[in-house]
Amino acid sequence: MSLSFVLGNLFGRALLSFALVWVACWLASRLDWRTALARSRRWYGLLSVAVLTLLGMGSAIVSAGGVR
């Protein structure tokens, strides 16, 4: 596996995780996108992005047979 593949995969998963967190914040803030963006950039939003990204990477590694 090349470094660019790993970094691209990590960046893509982080971007998708941020989108999921933003949608959750958007729904919680009654469809106000400015409030949702502010909430998703707080510490708990960034922490949830990191956790979702790591869970996605871990799931991909386990399902590919990387961990035995």
pTM exceeds 0.85 for this model: no
Q: What pLDDT, on the 0 to 100 scale, is given for residue 48?
A: 93
Structure tokens at 50: 């990191």
Residue-wise pLDDT for 18-54, tens only, equals 999 999 999 999 999 999 999 889 999 999 999 999 9
Note the pLDDT of residue 62: 80
In contact, 11 and 51? CB cutoff 8 Å: no
CA distances from 29 to 6, 35, 37, 46 (A): 34, 6, 10, 17
Q: Please report the sign of the dihedral spanned by the C-alpha atoms of residue 8, residue 23, residue 36, residue 49.
A: negative
Q: 21 and 53 in contact (C-beta within 8 Å)?
A: no
- Tell me which amino acid residue 62 is: V
Question: Could you tell me which residue, 49 or 57, shows the higher pLDDT?
Answer: 49
Confidence of residue 3 (pLDDT cuts 50, 70, 90): confident
